Amino acid sequence: MLADLPLLSLVIWTPIIGGLLVLFFGKDEQAPLARIIALAVSVLTFLLTIPLWTGFDNSTYQMQFVEYASWIPTFNINYHLGIDGISMPLILLTAFSTVLVVIAGWEVIKYKPAQYMAAFLIMNGLMIGVFCALDSILFYVLWEAMLIPMFLIIGIWGGERRVYATIKFFLYTFLGSVFMLVALIYMYTQSGSFGILDMQNMPLGMTEQILIFLAFLIAFAVKVPMWPVHTWLPDAHVEAPTGGSVILAAIMLKMGTYGFVRFSLPITPDASMKLDWLMITLSLIAVVYIAFVALVQKDMKKLIAYSSISHMGFVTLGFFMIFAIMENTGSTQGMGMAIEGALVQMISHGFISGAMFLCVGVMYDRMHSRQIADYGGVANTMPIFASFMVLFAMANAGLPGTSGFVGEFMVILAAFKANFWIAFLAATTLIFGAAYTLWMVKRVIFGEVANDNVAALKDVNKREFFVLGVLAVAVLALGLWPAPLSDVMHATVDHLIEQVMHSKL
Amino acid sequence: MMTPSSFEMPNLLPALPEIFVLAATCVILLADLFVRDDKKVITYLLSLATLVGAAVLTITLHTGETVLTFSGSFVSDPMGDVLKVFVYLVTAAVFVYSRSYLMARNLFKGEFFTLGLFGALGMMVLISAHNMLTLYLGLELLSLCMYAMVALQRDSLNATEAAMKYFILGALASGMLLYGMSLIYGITGSLDLAEINAAIKSLDDSKMMVAGLGMVLVIVGMAFKLGAVPFHMWLPDVYHGAPTAITLYIGTAPKIAAFAMVMRLLVEGLGDMHAQWQEILIIMAVLSMAVGNIIAIAQANIKRMLAYSTISHVGFLLLGILAGTAEGYSSAMFYAITYALMAAGGFGMILLLSRSGFEADRLEDFKGLSERSPWFAFMMLILMFSMAGVPPTVGFYAKLAVLQSVVGVGLTWLAVLGVIFSIIGVFYYLRVIKLMYFDKPVDTAPLESTADMRIILSANALGILYLGLMPGSLLALCVAAIG
């Protein structure tokens, strides 16, 4: 019964239409109603994604829940949706994060609350669409359309330098994507199809592949973001309202890495192999250098933003290390571990970074400061909050038993099969990650009560407790028992490796 | 050749919309004499009725076939029919948007509407021209109306200056065009576009050079009318100096007609010289995109900003034409139509914000619009993102179609340049959105406008959003029209 419904369309359009509905309650006195509708829509969307998980067939790499309709026949562009083991968990993560963001913004957002909620709901639908799209133009349209609500969220509800940050954010990401558009058009003129699956199967020469790979690289590297095109992220994170930071860190960054596995690796496997040194180098720079940068930050949000860049370096490292593993060991086993580790890291980072930003948000709502120096001894006045914060910080540092450990461990383990030095450099993150995270926690949470403002702090209320509690459960569950997540991915990852190993020349 | 003795009645049916508009406008011209100043709304309604009537005629007479009449000097074909319908639509929108603006400035007179309708007639003739003389006739009819309209606000220094600039430079460009046409006529011995095309095929090298010179002069004339760099100088000054309602008129429907002029002259007349004009168009397109987008950033006046934005859009439009394939022409046609719709909305928003004694043409006049009117701020948001080419608005598909045709003929580097300049362009469109959404309002007066304007303007912007979600039918229409 449920399987007959166009589930993917439902999860894309429910939040978008719901968001438009919320917009109608734009007046401030109607805010309570707008909040309730927003919550209902986001919860409904999340519930609609659950059948995607329960009804998912782990044994096949084929696209599931496929929907297909002609959209723009002139250019052979189709409304083609489908999910596999890589995109399904990301869709659940997106819908889940949006529910938390709506709750987290409940009474905190006083200025135009309905528009705030509506923007997140619309973005929820667009983001889910990005993960479902199997037509490259549909993908591109959603990928770009998503920038509009985010641009407004940062610009309207952001901090002091919000205008600078949001324009920088928009221009950076727009700059990256247009090159991808040219690459997509080029492939269309060669193959006559904008279908992503068709592009994965079309033959391409080496020069073409390299150019297409570089075009994709600009688009996705900006989004991940990879060093050296990461500079928009700290600005955007710092200025964005808490909800915006959560969605940016938890979902938007994942789109860059998703792009690598959906486009770069399968469409240009030979170029990926040829340029894997570049990707590994950039990833390691992100992992090591950005960790140092994080160490010296004075602003908590900035610190977490840099920590995100560093963690996303792990993901790209995992994806592009596979060629070195193949060369070194001659088996595909380690490759699977590298990619799966990276994918698990994506999901885990979604929870952890979201949780970290929510923690900062909780403190910011009370103190209106993000500076580490303004805090100290928060554990004395907010003990429950402090326990959450410490847990998430440990997860961020990759403590075994939390989700942060699983992905990093898998990637480092696989890295040893590729090259000792890659593994060594990647493993330093366990030290540096612990250093910058725990040092921040030490300065903010522990010690004597620093000043009167901290002394006056009130511990988390029920709403905040719920949000942080749910995330804590997710972080621990994924850390203790990651099998359900990796089981979903096996077949898809195996197929991806097959595609990558199959030369297109 | 026709001699008086062999005169036979030409087939008038294909030209019926033109004849109707001519007759109706003459009637309006006369009727307006008897309409008192406070009852000019009658003239306004009659003008709208004329456009509706022309649309009905064009649609009912549409056969999907190409019919020549008046000894081959006038053509009725699918491309022309589609373009004309959009000319009526955009002109009607211009009339609706202008009403309260003109009333507030004591310009709500018969002249505006009759000149506007004669201009529309000029566009129709231009679109249907199949002979260089017909083409020139249509172009001059249109141009003369526009010169007069710019000067309509007699006591405004800016408008008078703009009209003089426009007239002198326009006359110069017309001269260039005419000289080019005469050279081509001299070499090929014909004014008929199809015959010219046939004759050029068999020219030897020395004659080809003369034809080439003629082609260059023709392109200069066209580039001026389009506003392509380096013949764009008039455009910002005229857009800025003219009353906004007139800017709206000049900046929208004539772009559709200019596209038709390029199609008729370059593609139908000089199609065989594609290799030569392609190079010229490449240079003009790149320069237009560069100059338009970069200089637009420095503007503080939104009319000037939109003028430079027009120049950059013309560059994009030329990209589609220079591809030289049916795909390219249909993409350029799609671009011209959607651009006219976007520009109508954009200038319409300025008119919406303006009131008696207040032009609302500075960028800062848009500050905090989302507080004053969330709905129209949202409409402007759609229009700006569409001009920037951000999905899900139709501006994205216009760019997509053009880029695709350029990449299709192997000019991928040109597509890369195009997207780079469009990134630069995004900045100034974003600035408008920034002003509307992130800044606090300076001016808190409520918006004064008539209900019909609000409805049509909303429909205009929502149409752009709708076409961005469902561009298929309009794209297919353009492809079918080019054939």
Nearest alpha-carbon partner for A439 in A237, A294, A288, A235: A294
Q: What is the pLDDT of residues B218-255, one digit of tens each?
A: 999 999 988 898 999 899 999 999 999 999 999 999 99
**Cβ separation of A167 and B391 shorter than 8 Å?**
no
Q: What is the pLDDT of residues A67-89, one digit of tens each?
A: 898 888 888 899 999 998 899 99
Q: What is the pLDDT of residues B292-303, one digit of tens each?
A: 999 999 999 999
Q: What is the pLDDT of residues A177-205, one digit of tens each?
A: 899 999 999 999 888 889 898 888 888 88
* Cross-strand partners of B69: B74
User: What is chain B's mean pLDDT, rounded?
Assistant: 90
What integer pLDDT is reported at residue B6 of this predicted model? 62
d(CA B231, CA B169): 9
**Cβ separation of A155 and B408 shorter than 8 Å?**
no
The pair of structure tokens assigned to B18 is 């033109």
Q: Which residues in chain B are contacts of A186 at CB distance < 8 A?
A: 407, 412
**Cβ separation of B419 and A162 shorter than 8 Å?**
no
The average pLDDT across A428-439 equals 86
Nearest alpha-carbon partner for B367 in B380, B355, B356, B357: B380
Q: Decide if pLDDT at A381 tops 90.
A: no
What integer pLDDT is reported at residue B370 of this predicted model? 85
The share of chain B scoring above pLDDT 90, in percent, equals 62
Number of residues that make up chain B: 483
- Candidate from B390, B434, B472 with C-beta closest to A72: B472
**Cβ separation of B437 and A141 shorter than 8 Å?**
no
Do the bridges between strand B67-69 and strand A77-83 make them parallel or antiparallel, or are there none, so unpaired? unpaired
Q: Which residues in chain B are contacts of A141 at CB distance < 8 A?
A: 391-392, 396
What integer pLDDT is reported at residue A225 of this predicted model? 87
What integer pLDDT is reported at residue B344 of this predicted model? 94
**Cβ separation of A185 and B407 shorter than 8 Å?**
yes
What integer pLDDT is reported at residue A64 of this predicted model? 86
**Cβ separation of A185 and B426 shorter than 8 Å?**
no
Q: What is the pLDDT of residues A200-220, one digit of tens each?
A: 888 888 888 999 999 999 999
What integer pLDDT is reported at residue A366 of this predicted model? 84
Query: Chain A to chain B, count of Cβ pairs less than 8 Å apart?
Result: 84
Predicted confidence band of residue A5 (pLDDT cuts 50, 70, 90): confident
The share of chain A scoring above pLDDT 90, in percent, equals 23
**Cβ separation of B423 and A174 shorter than 8 Å?**
yes
Q: Which residues in chain B are contacts of A74 at CB distance < 8 A?
A: 472, 475-476, 479
Find, in chain B, the residue whose alpha carbon is nearest to that of A27.
Answer: B374
The average pLDDT across A260-287 equals 90
Q: Which residue has the tokens 């001059």?
A: B140
3-state helix, strand, coil in chain A (%, to 5): 80, 5, 20
The average pLDDT across A11-18 equals 91
Phi, psi of A72 (to 5 degrees): -125, 90
Find, in chain A, the residue whose alpha carbon is nearest to that of B437.
Answer: A156
**Cβ separation of A189 and B407 shorter than 8 Å?**
yes
Count of alpha carbons within 13 angstroms of residue B433, beta-carbon side: 27
**Cβ separation of B374 and A26 shorter than 8 Å?**
yes
User: What is chain A's mean pLDDT, rounded?
Assistant: 87
Q: What is the pLDDT of residues B412-462, one digit of tens each?
A: 899 999 999 999 989 999 999 999 988 888 877 788 788 888 999 999 999
Cβ burial of A153 (10 Å; 0-12, 13-18, 19+) is: buried
- Candidate from B404, B407, B434 with C-beta closest to A167: B434
The pair of structure tokens assigned to B118 is 């004669």
Predicted confidence band of residue B322 (pLDDT cuts 50, 70, 90): very high
Q: What is the pLDDT of residues A224-252, one digit of tens each?
A: 888 888 888 888 888 888 888 899 888 98
**Cβ separation of B400 and A185 shorter than 8 Å?**
yes
What integer pLDDT is reported at residue B1 of this predicted model? 47
What integer pLDDT is reported at residue A24 of this predicted model? 80
The C-alpha R_g of chain A, in whole angstroms, comes to: 22
Q: Which residues in chain B are contacts of A156 at CB distance < 8 A?
A: 437-438
**Cβ separation of A155 and B434 shorter than 8 Å?**
yes
Q: Which residues in chain A are contacts of B479 at CB distance < 8 A?
A: 74
Tell me which of B297, B387, B396 to substitute to probe the interface with A (most A C-beta atoms closer than 10 Å).
B396
Q: Which of residues 152-211 of A touch B (CB under 8 A)?
A: 152, 155-156, 162-163, 166-167, 170-171, 174-175, 178-179, 181-182, 185-186, 188-189
Q: Which residues in chain B are contacts of A73 at CB distance < 8 A?
A: 472, 476
**Cβ separation of A174 and B407 shorter than 8 Å?**
no
Find, in chain A, the residue whose alpha carbon is nearest to that of B421.
Answer: A175
Predicted confidence band of residue A258 (pLDDT cuts 50, 70, 90): very high
What integer pLDDT is reported at residue A325 of this predicted model? 86
Phi, psi of B155 (to 5 degrees): -90, 0
What integer pLDDT is reported at residue B283 of this predicted model? 94
A34-38, A180-184, A377-381: least confidently modelled range: A377-381
Q: Decide if pLDDT at B3 tops 60.
A: no
Nearest alpha-carbon partner for A91 in A237, A341, A258: A258
Q: Which residues in chain A are contacts of B408 at CB distance < 8 A?
A: 189
Helices marked H in B298-325: 302-323
Q: Decide if pLDDT at B183 tops 90.
A: yes
d(CA B278, CA B273): 8
What integer pLDDT is reported at residue B128 of this predicted model? 93
The average pLDDT across A348-354 equals 91
Q: What is the pLDDT of residues A112-139, one digit of tens each?
A: 888 888 899 999 999 999 999 999 999 9
What integer pLDDT is reported at residue B379 of this predicted model? 92
How does A396-415 read in b/e, with b if 16+ C-beta sit within 10 Å? bbbbeebbbbbbbbbbbebb
Residue type for position A495 = H
Tell me which of A17, A71, A154, A178 to substitute to probe the interface with B (most B C-beta atoms closer than 10 Å).
A178
d(CA A322, CA A327): 9
What integer pLDDT is reported at residue A2 of this predicted model? 56
Answer left, alpha or beta for residue B349, where phi above 0 means left and psi between -120 and 50 means alpha. Answer: alpha
